Amino acid sequence: DIVMTQSPDSLAVSLGERATINCKSSQSVLKSSNNKNYLAWYQQKPGQPPTLLIYWASTRESGVPDRFSGSGSGTDFTLTISSLQAEDVAVYYCQHYYSSPYTFGQGTKLEIK
């Protein structure tokens, strides 16, 4: 199984500042056949199901604000929120879909400083 490890486990950022969350996979999730990284990011607000933010490591899902961006390739990935808003308080998860089983990172809790 591919193990997904996120860092940090929790993060406190001031409103308007940048938030950066990292995700590392135990093996590459980049497929050479199409040069795509099989990596997604989800946001989960308290009491709600997760929502898909980003797929292919850097493509925003429809309706996701452009302050959210994803980057990275191979085994190392980053989710960046360029200017933190109050509504961004949530737990963020990375997930690979390279192969079954589809595993998630342990989550990063983002709070307001």
Partner 1 sequence: QLQLQESGPGLLKPSETLSLTCTVFGGSISSTSYYWGWIRQPPGKGLEWIASIYYSGITYYNPSLKSRVNISVDTSKNQFSLKLNSVTAADTAVYYCARQGAISLRTFDYWGQGTLVTVSS
Residue 70 interacting with partner 1 (CB under 8 A):
no
75 versus 107: smaller Cβ distance to partner 1 = 107
Token readout for 49 is 């199901």
CA 13 – CA 89 distance, rounded (Å): 10
Token readout for 112 is 């307001």
Residue 72 interacting with partner 1 (CB under 8 A):
no
> DSSP character for 88?
G
By three-state DSSP, how is residue 61 classified?
coil
Residue 63 interacting with partner 1 (CB under 8 A):
no
For residue 61, the cross-strand partners are none
Stretch 74-113 residues interacting with partner 1 (CB under 8 A): 93, 95, 97, 100-107
Binding site for partner 1 (CB under 8 A): 1, 34, 36, 38, 40, 42, 48-52, 55-56, 61, 93, 95, 97, 100-107
